[in-house]
Amino acid sequence: MVTRPESSRPDFSDLNNCRLNTCRLDCRDGLAAVPVSQPIADIALFKRAMTNTRLIVLCVSACSVCVIGCNSATPDASLRKAASVPAPVTVRTALVGQSSVTPKVTLIGTVTAIRRSTVGSPVDGRVTQININEGDHVGMHVDGGQQRGDIIAQLDTETVSIEIAAAQAELTRLQHELAELNAGSRPEEIAQAKAHAEAAKDSSEYAESRFLRTQNLDKANVISVEQLDAAKSAAFAARQELIAANAAHAMAAAGPRQEVVAQSIAKVEHQKQEIVRLQTQLRHHTIRTPFAGDVVKKLTEVGQWLTRGAPLAEIIDVDPIDVVVHVPESLVTQIRTGDKVRLEFDALPDGANFFEGTIHGIVASADQQARTFPVRIRLNNPSDKGDFLLRDGMHARATVSGSPHSAILVPKDALILGGPKPVVMVAQPQNEQLPVAVRIEVEAGASSEDMIEITGDLQSGQRVIVDGNERVRPGQLLNVVADEADPS
């Protein structure tokens, strides 16, 4: 093997001056091993020469890069700082405005029947007839000049009918007694009383005369004391009988006392009321609907024994009908009874599902957890071929409007949602510099078309970011692009 002379080898002495020691590469051994002046004698020698040549090329390239890097100047600190500052973000803004706003809130409501009654039995009895089924319509009709409901059930009336018959017989007896008292004494009774009085008078005179004779005999000591006492007692008894006979005659002639007549009249009236009570109880055995409506529950059947107050059926009235919504406390003070409300019903076909209702009642007590107040909105129930379209329990949406007031408005696109509170990014101007992004937490209020009311540390005249606000960070410089509707 022939080695290359020292004079023909490349000079790598400059590598010793490189400040990066790791760049030092000693390639001279490889160069020395390559025979360049002698012809290649065989294939093995040729492969070895090619391998060493590639190694030389790689070493020279690496050393050149290291030398260039080592001799380059150090970057300036200010340039590094400038490179770390993010570039301005291109955004579009809109002007914050202040205007009069009428808050409109769409609330979820429930269609509710204006009347709901669980019809109960007013008396005890056995059901002998039931005339309704669930889904049936019951109505009202005029009977004897009065509105009466359809019969929905009939109870057994045998017992109460017997009681009414007995009460009527007793009333007849009492009425005859009263008629007898009102007629007074018969002439025969007066004559009889007078005759008794005359006989008592004669007896009294005879007894008095006998007592006088007995007294004279006693003075003559002809009779005993016992005989005198007997005559005296007989005279006294005769006088009393005369008094009683005269009184009886006077009573017969005067007739019954007014108090006795009044008592008899009271007994007659009491019995009449007893009959009325029994007749009312008889009517209660026929159970009618309290109002026109629809049967939603059937709770009894023929043969069942019902106690007083036991339920028979549940009936609701759906015309007119109410929609009950729960209004937040911030809006309930702005609505009044009689206000118009727009209603939407998803169950009805498109184009025929919007109606207008009227606020019928505002409940004064709130839900203690939700802080909302129930509000009843009433409307006439639309019908189709005799069937009402709105049914109890349907879903509804009500758009409730409040009182107009001045408010800060921003486009809806300015709101950033998803966090604890809604946020807007404000383009805050700087002196002779690009505006900077400022993050402000707000609270959203009523919306009107593409604008929304907000409250927070925001003033009219500021500019909020409406396009690009979700990728902007607080403190970042902004490149504001003029809005077509509001050129800057």
* pLDDT reported for residue 275: 96
pLDDT more than 70, % of the chain: 81
**Which residues are within 8 A (CB) of 422 and not within 5 positions of it... i.e. 6 or more apart?**
415, 416, 441, 442, 443, 444, 454
* pLDDT reported for residue 485: 54
- Please give the torsion angle defined by the CA atoms of residues 303, 309, 311 and 314, in that order, rounded to the nearest 10 degrees: 140
- pLDDT, average across residues 65-89: 50
Confidence band (pLDDT; 50, 70, 90) for 483?
low
* pLDDT reported for residue 85: 58
Bridge-based pairing of strands 340-344 and 305-306 is unpaired
**Which residues are within 8 A (CB) of 429 and not within 5 positions of it... i.e. 6 or more apart?**
435
- pLDDT, average across residues 186-212: 88
* pLDDT reported for residue 43: 41
If one counts every other C-beta atom within 10 angstroms of the C-beta of residue 449, the result is 7
Q: Which residues pair with 437 in a beta bridge?
A: 427
Q: Does 396 have pLDDT greater than 60?
A: yes
Q: At what angle do helices 225-254 and 187-219 cross, to 10 degrees?
A: 160
* pLDDT reported for residue 251: 81
Confidence band (pLDDT; 50, 70, 90) for 450?
confident
Distance CA 100, CA 62 (A): 75
- Residue 132 near residue 152 (C-beta atoms within 8 A): yes
Confidence band (pLDDT; 50, 70, 90) for 446?
confident
Count each helix (H run) and each strand (E run) in the chain, helices first.
Answer: 8, 24
Q: Does 22 have pLDDT greater than 80?
A: no
* pLDDT reported for residue 337: 93
Distance CA 132, CA 486 (A): 69
pLDDT more than 90, % of the chain: 46
Handedness of CA 58, 63, 66, 72 (dihedral sign): negative
- pLDDT, average across residues 39-50: 43
pLDDT digits (tens, 9 = 90+) for 30-39: 434 434 334 4
Closest to 288 measured CA to CA, from 143, 487, 80, 470? 143
- Residue 73 near residue 443 (C-beta atoms within 8 A): no
- Find the range with the poorest average confidence among 46-50, 204-208, 274-278, 316-320: 46-50
Q: Does 295 have pLDDT greater than 70?
A: yes
Read off the tokens for 440.
Answer: 């402000």
DSSP output for 236-274: HHHHHHHHHHHHHHHHHHH-S-HHHHHHHHHHHHHHHHH
Q: Does 202 have pLDDT greater than 50?
A: yes
Cα→Cα distances 423→92, 420, 436, Å: 16, 9, 16
Confidence band (pLDDT; 50, 70, 90) for 313?
very high
Distance CA 202, CA 418 (A): 125
**Which residues are within 8 A (CB) of 230 and not within 5 positions of it... i.e. 6 or more apart?**
none
Bridge-based pairing of strands 89-95 and 478-481 is parallel
Q: At what angle do helices 158-183 and 258-284 cross, to 10 degrees?
A: 160
* pLDDT reported for residue 265: 94
* pLDDT reported for residue 310: 95
Q: Tally the C-alpha atoms within 13 A of residue 1's C-alpha that lie toward its C-beta.
A: 10
Confidence band (pLDDT; 50, 70, 90) for 21?
very low
Task: Report yes or no on whether pTM surpasses 0.85.
Answer: no
φ, ψ at 363 (rounded to 5°): -70, 135
Q: Does 297 have pLDDT greater than 90?
A: yes
Q: Does 84 have pLDDT greater than 50?
A: yes
- pLDDT, average across residues 277-297: 94
Q: Map tokens 């000591």 to a residue.
A: 221
- Find the range with the poorest average confidence among 31-45, 107-121, 154-168, 385-399: 31-45
Q: Map tokens 């790791």 to a residue.
A: 22
Distance CA 408, CA 231 (A): 126
Higher pLDDT, 396 or 32: 396
- Find the range with the poorest average confidence among 26-30, 236-240, 480-484: 26-30
Distance CA 285, CA 4 (A): 136
**DSSP code, position 471:** S
* pLDDT reported for residue 119: 95
Distance CA 88, CA 95 (A): 20
* Rg (alpha carbons) of the chain, rounded to whole number: 60
pLDDT digits (tens, 9 = 90+) for 230-267: 989 999 999 999 999 888 888 888 778 888 889 999 99
CB neighbour burial string for 469-481, b if at least 16 within 10 angstroms, e if fewer: beebeeebbbebe
Average pLDDT over the chain, rounded to an integer: 82
